[in-house]
Amino acid sequence: MDDLGARINLKLIEELRQYGEFNVQNCFSCGHCTAVCNLVQPGESFPRRVIRYAQLGLRDQLAATKAVWSCYYCGDCTLSCPRQATPGQLMEAARRYFIVHWDITTLSRRFYTSPRFMWVSTTVMAVILGFLFLATGGDVVSKRLALFEFMSYDFLHYLGIAVIALVALLMMINAGNMAFHVMRVLPKTPATGPILWIRDALLACKDILDDMTIQSRFSKCRGNESEASLPWYLSRRVIHLCIMWGFLGLLGATTFDFIFKEPGSYVPLYYPGRLLGTVAGIPVLYGTSVSLWLRKNHRGGASFERTMLSDWFFLWLLWVTTITGYITEVAVYLPRGSILGYGIFLIHVILAIELILILPFTKFSHVIYRPVALYLHALHLRRRARGYEARVPLAVGRPSDIPSSA
Amino acid sequence: MENRIGVYVCHCGTNIAGKVEVEKVAEYAGSLPGVVISREYRFMCSDPGQEQIREDIAKHRLNRVVVAACSPRMHEKTFQKTLEKAGINRYYLQVANIREHVSWTTEDPETATKKAMDMVRAAVARVPLHGPLPTHEVAVNKEVMVVGAGIGGIQAALDIADGGYKVHLVERLPSVGGHMSQYDKVFPTLDCAACIGTPKMVAVGMHERIQLHTYSEVEEVSGFVGQFKVKVRHKAAYVNHEVCTGCGICQEKCPKKVPSEYDMKLGKRKAIYTLFPQAVPNKPVIDRDNCIYFQNGKCRACEKFCEMKAIDFAQQDRVEEIEVGSIIVATGFDQMDPSIIEPYGYGRYPNVITGLEFERMVVGAGPTLGKIQLKDGSVPKDVAILHCVGSRDLRYHEYCSRVCCMYGLKHAHQIREKIGANVYMFYIDMRCFGKGYEEFYNRVQNEGVILIRGKAAQVTDQAVLPEDEGRLIVTAEDTATGEKVYVPVDMVILSAAMEPRVDAQQTARIFNINRSKDGFFLEQHPKLAPVNTAVSGIFLAGTCQGPKDVVDTVAHAAAAASKSLALASKGVVETESMISWINPEVCVGCQTCISVCPANAITYNERRGISSVNEAVCLGCGSCAATCPSGAASLKHFTADEVLAEVDALMGA
């Protein structure tokens, strides 16, 4: 026998335990969790299969499953599990595990598992940044708030570009790492030639468009009583969309400013970059505030029950950065510059850069892993369907596992 | 008298010797004051081990023995016998528990060895203070009471009565028969339940040594093994059963119809009723809450038509005190009400029914005359059977109810046989462990039943396809393929869990017995004493001890019967020697002990102004000794001197 199958490995579950508390050794594989899940699609059987992979330690299979990234964690499975095996908690731990697993720098693991490392590294980074900003600028003009006399614009500009480039590169490498391993595990599909290849790639993009934009499936995920009892504007979907689109808006505004705007110049509120930033900040502030409040009170759904430091950190950072951004925006209208105004601006800039820097290592990095996973599976389905088409006469019709247009 | 103590340290294979250095312990014991000989041996409880003790007692003229071994609960009796055979009083023994208290619970071998030495030293310090305790025997009343006349109680009663002793069979309902009489067929042989059950019911009713107390409940139990006094309340039936011939005219003429509990409310009964046509005794009772006469003073139809003039509206409850030597508790189970499992829609959808309801539906003499039908009278085309409803579910009952797999399969078979409908069974595991059970599973599979390995998630009426409108949809994951599946059906049968009787706590209090975590009555030992309780002379039979099928219930009941028979046929029972004693010189008559005694064994003597212990009743729990403010009450074999000697030796390490 050449192929003995997958090797059972008991280490995986212990590794997963570092990223959440769960009880899946209790699972007797009755499938109740899968049956109550509103997100399971034909051919899928999560959380049960994810539990099985974890129990047997089939890391490659677990890594390649879309399930981990399909779940929005309403917690229905955990509530209704006859063995109280907490499948939802395992799914969450698995997401954290893979955020760590695909990160080639291993910093994510340290962020998740060592609060001390998180605090020390971010504090040291903040001190260094503060020192550099003050060393390159530091002129305090008290007649008016002259931000870019206080801070060297050139330094900020190039540092910003460098940080964004570094983070983008890291995220792409990690995404590539993930894609490589997932593709290796997914069954091979027949070659189809370049035109169909591009066509499938585009169709797969279309398949995941909803998930990438309005996430309508998220609305199916409100079975949990504590969540269903909250008004729609406190639902996790709304919170998530607010933070996601707001963050993208802020990122867009910053990029726009970097490219088009004359440094430090005054622009009116309707200037596109400023307007975008001002408007986008509102949903971010709303989303992060509500999220922090719900998480603190353990309300609003199972995913808010247990928050790790790494998750807190990202949310707080985003919240403080947005608040300080707004204060700065108001402060420029003040007749006189004050130490307080400059201080808040300094904090804003330092935190914004830290925020970007920790992106690949926190919960936030799901922005790359999730689309990559969904895309690869959509693509795989498209190409597999293409394989069927080649063999099956067209008259029979399309096989059922081609996703309908999402 | 000079103390001559022998110390014996047991290896218990590697149980003790694997952790404790037994040689060192024995050597140390030899150095203690009063110890004449000390030995270690692989298994002290074995014949050679006991023989060694006997030899030493003779050779070294030992008058006290310390055995350092397992818990005294295991082998104290064994070694007491050894002492007795060697001619010294059995209470000259002290057991130091160096297995449960030392080797099994201590990590470090050195600490364990040291602790074992401490415990041996304490035992050696205590044992010289032991006095000889006398043993008493009391006569056993040869009558036996069986409480509950389901198949378990019936079996136990018949076995004992056939053994030649009188049985009082107490049943709460108007007829014997229990749950089994409600069934159509019983797995795996598909015997008709009535065909094999009613002969036993009739046998119970006719047996010369069985006195039936139907429509009666046990109210109070006092006394002790061999001498129980049981107060039984005979509920007023408002029918004089002495003269009633069971002709049935009263039931025919009674104008008031109410849903029949016996038929799971699928059918109706009258306000004067018998449970079912083959009821034993086949004599009716009046349901006071529903009788028109009792409600508004008119009617009396039954009275008018009864030729025997048996109706007696003035009848009162009657409490009888019955003296018996032992009691068998066979109070059975309740079927869990699945309406608390909201997603299954029991109580919301009329065609979601329980296994017991299906049983009444499929029984030929039942309310539908055996027709399997929906609430609108039509015949279902598709039926789903949901297993593990409330069983194997930490939200309801953690335990497996042990019968649902098999009765689910039986129902599937009955549906296939009677109406040919498609049957879908949603199960987690098929547990077909008994004789002929796996074969039955295979047979039902061959009859075309669809088996879906996955716990059903919900029953809903929200159809996806138009053709499924108005039907019930059952969803689950078929874990064998990993596909989420649903099936439209017309009827859903919930194989609901067996659970303890709703009043099990009250019953436990009456009989002074305990309940296990799952709520069923607790046996003395799950393997080796499955019918005994912690109360000597009270035994368990059937499902009141835990879920069982008919096969196991009958075997369990026969086992309980053999315990009662053994007591009755021996005729005497030895009473506990380690009991309380109240020193009349010290007692001031404050009666605090009386308030804490769980056995009501202490009485206050007005004339002398002191309390005293009834030796036959005392359980030896020590509550009075612990509570007595003047130190007058003490527990023999656990006197203050003995316990303090032990403590002093432990502390003085």
Chain A within 8 Å of B340 (Cβ-Cβ)? no
**Topology, domain B144-235+320-332+501-570:** FAD/NAD(P)-binding domain (3.50.50)
Structure tokens at B489: 């059906």
Between CA B52 and CA B86 the distance in angstroms is 11
Q: Is B368 helix (H, G, I), strand (E, B) or coil?
A: coil
The answer to whether A201 and A383 have CB atoms below 8 angstroms apart is no
Q: What is the mean pLDDT of residues B293-298?
A: 92
Please name the amino acid found at residue A370: R
Range of weakest confidence among A209-218, B38-47, B256-265: A209-218
Residue A136 is predicted with a pLDDT of: 86
Residue A226 is predicted with a pLDDT of: 65
pLDDT digits (tens, 9 = 90+) for B6-35: 999 999 999 999 999 999 999 999 999 999
Structure tokens at A7: 């090797």
Q: What is the mean pLDDT of residues A146-151?
A: 76
pLDDT digits (tens, 9 = 90+) for A66-87: 999 999 888 889 989 999 999 9
Q: State the maximum Cα–Cα separation within chain A, in Å, rounded to a whole number.
A: 83
Residue B134 is predicted with a pLDDT of: 83
Structure tokens at B449: 């039943």
Residue B389 is predicted with a pLDDT of: 97
Q: Do A44 and B453 touch (CB under 8 A)?
A: no
What CATH number belongs to B5-129?
A: 3.40.50
Structure tokens at B271: 């306000």
Q: How confident is the model at residue B653 (pLDDT cuts 50, 70, 90)?
A: low
How many Å lie between the alpha carbon of B427 and the closest alpha carbon of chain A?
Answer: 8
- What is the domain partition of chain B in residue ranges? 5-129, 144-235+320-332+501-570, 249-305, 336-497, 580-636
pLDDT at A1 over 60: no
For A30, the closest of B395, B454, B484 (CB atoms) is: B454
Q: What is the mean pLDDT of residues B598-615?
A: 89
Chain A within 8 Å of B470 (Cβ-Cβ)? no
Q: Phi and psi (nearest 5°) for B581? A: -145, 130
How many Å lie between the alpha carbon of B429 and the closest alpha carbon of chain A?
Answer: 8
A43 to chain B: which residues are within 8 Å by CB?
482-483
Which of A27, A29, A32 has the highest number of chain B CBs within 10 A, making it the mutation to test binding with B? A32
Residue A223 is predicted with a pLDDT of: 63
Q: What is the mean pLDDT of residues A8-19?
A: 91
Enumerate residues 6+ apart whose C-beta is below 8 A from B47. Answer: none
Q: Do B455 and A31 touch (CB under 8 A)?
A: yes
pLDDT at A337 over 80: no
Between CA B573 and CA B136 the distance in angstroms is 8
For A49, the closest of B456, B476, B482 (CB atoms) is: B482
Between CA A224 and CA B46 the distance in angstroms is 61
Closest CA to B557 of B144, B175, B157: B157
Please name the amino acid found at residue B153: G
Q: SS3 sequence, A149-197? A: HHCCHHHHHHHHHHHHHHHHHHHHHHHHHHHHHHHHHCCCCCCCCHHHH
Q: Do A35 and B428 touch (CB under 8 A)?
A: no
Range of weakest confidence among A79-93, B139-153, B328-342: A79-93
Which of A26, A33, A34 has the highest number of chain B CBs within 10 A, making it the mutation to test binding with B? A34
A30 to chain B: which residues are within 8 Å by CB?
388, 428, 454-455, 479
Residue A390 is predicted with a pLDDT of: 58
For B482, the closest of A30, A37, A45 (CB atoms) is: A45
pLDDT digits (tens, 9 = 90+) for B210-230: 999 999 999 999 888 999 999
Between CA A185 and CA A198 the distance in angstroms is 22
The answer to whether B392 and B399 have CB atoms below 8 angstroms apart is yes
- What is the architecture, at CATH level 2, of domain A107-369? Up-down Bundle (1.20)
Half-sphere exposure of B241 (CA within 13 A, CB side): 18
Residue A343 is predicted with a pLDDT of: 87
CB atoms closer than 10 angstroms to residue B509 = 11
How many Å lie between the alpha carbon of B444 and the closest alpha carbon of chain A?
Answer: 22
Q: What is the mean pLDDT of residues B355-378?
A: 95
Q: What is the mean pLDDT of residues B74-100?
A: 94
Higher pLDDT, B524 or B152: B152
Q: What is the mean pLDDT of residues B468-493?
A: 94
How many Å lie between the alpha carbon of A85 and the closest alpha carbon of chain B?
Answer: 10
pLDDT digits (tens, 9 = 90+) for B409-430: 999 999 999 999 999 999 999 9
Range of weakest confidence among A259-268, A284-293, B530-539: A259-268
Between CA B476 and CA B454 the distance in angstroms is 6
pLDDT at A403 over 50: no
pLDDT at B533 over 70: yes
Closest CA to B344 of B457, B464, B491: B457
Q: Quote ipTM for the complex.
A: 0.77
Which of B479, B486, B495 has the highest number of chain A CBs within 10 A, making it the mutation to test binding with A? B479
Closest residue, chain A, to B387 (C-alpha): A30
Q: Kindly report the average pLDDT of chain B as a whole number.
A: 94
- What is the architecture, at CATH level 2, of domain B336-497? 3-Layer(bba) Sandwich (3.50)
Q: Do A35 and B482 touch (CB under 8 A)?
A: no
The CA-atom distances, in angstroms, between A308 and each of A225, A337, A388 are 23, 39, 45
B400 to chain A: which residues are within 8 Å by CB?
none
How many Å lie between the alpha carbon of A232 and the closest alpha carbon of chain B?
Answer: 24
Q: Do B477 and A80 touch (CB under 8 A)?
A: no
Please tell me which of A251-255, B73-77, B561-565 the model is most confident about, judged by mean pLDDT.
B561-565
Q: Do A82 and B394 touch (CB under 8 A)?
A: yes
How many Å lie between the alpha carbon of A61 and the closest alpha carbon of chain B?
Answer: 15
Chain A within 8 Å of B475 (Cβ-Cβ)? yes
A37 to chain B: which residues are within 8 Å by CB?
484
Q: What is the mean pLDDT of residues A26-38?
A: 93
Q: Phi and psi (nearest 5°) for B388? A: 50, 45
Q: How confident is the model at residue B601 (pLDDT cuts 50, 70, 90)?
A: confident
Half-sphere exposure of A382 (CA within 13 A, CB side): 22
pLDDT at A51 over 80: yes
For A82, the closest of B395, B458, B479 (CB atoms) is: B395
pLDDT digits (tens, 9 = 90+) for B547-587: 999 999 999 999 999 999 999 999 999 887 889 999 999 99
Q: What is the mean pLDDT of residues A292-318?
A: 87
Q: State the maximum Cα–Cα separation within chain B, in Å, rounded to a whole number.
A: 98
Structure tokens at B186: 């019983």
Q: Phi and psi (nearest 5°) for B130? A: -60, 135
Q: Is B239 helix (H, G, I), strand (E, B) or coil?
A: strand
Q: What is the mean pLDDT of residues B622-634?
A: 93
A29 to chain B: which residues are within 8 Å by CB?
479
Q: Do A32 and B455 touch (CB under 8 A)?
A: yes
Enumerate residues 6+ apart whose C-beta is below 8 A from B111. Answer: none
pLDDT at B315 over 60: yes
For B457, the closest of A35, A44, A84 (CB atoms) is: A35
Class of domain B580-636: alpha beta
Q: Do A31 and B395 touch (CB under 8 A)?
A: no
Structure tokens at B91: 């209470």
A401 to chain B: which residues are within 8 Å by CB?
none
The answer to whether B406 and B188 have CB atoms below 8 angstroms apart is yes
Confidence (pTM)? 0.83
Chain B within 8 Å of A35 (Cβ-Cβ)? yes
Q: Do A43 and B483 touch (CB under 8 A)?
A: yes
Residue A255 is predicted with a pLDDT of: 83
Rounded (to 5) percent helix, strand, coil in chain A: 70, 0, 30
Structure tokens at B82: 């050894």
Closest residue, chain B, to A81 (C-alpha): B393
pLDDT at A49 over 50: yes
Between CA A301 and CA A284 the distance in angstroms is 20
Percentage, residues of chain B above pLDDT 70: 100
Residue ranges, comma separated, of all CATH 1.20.950 domains in chain A are: 107-369
Topology alike, domains B5-129 and B580-636: no
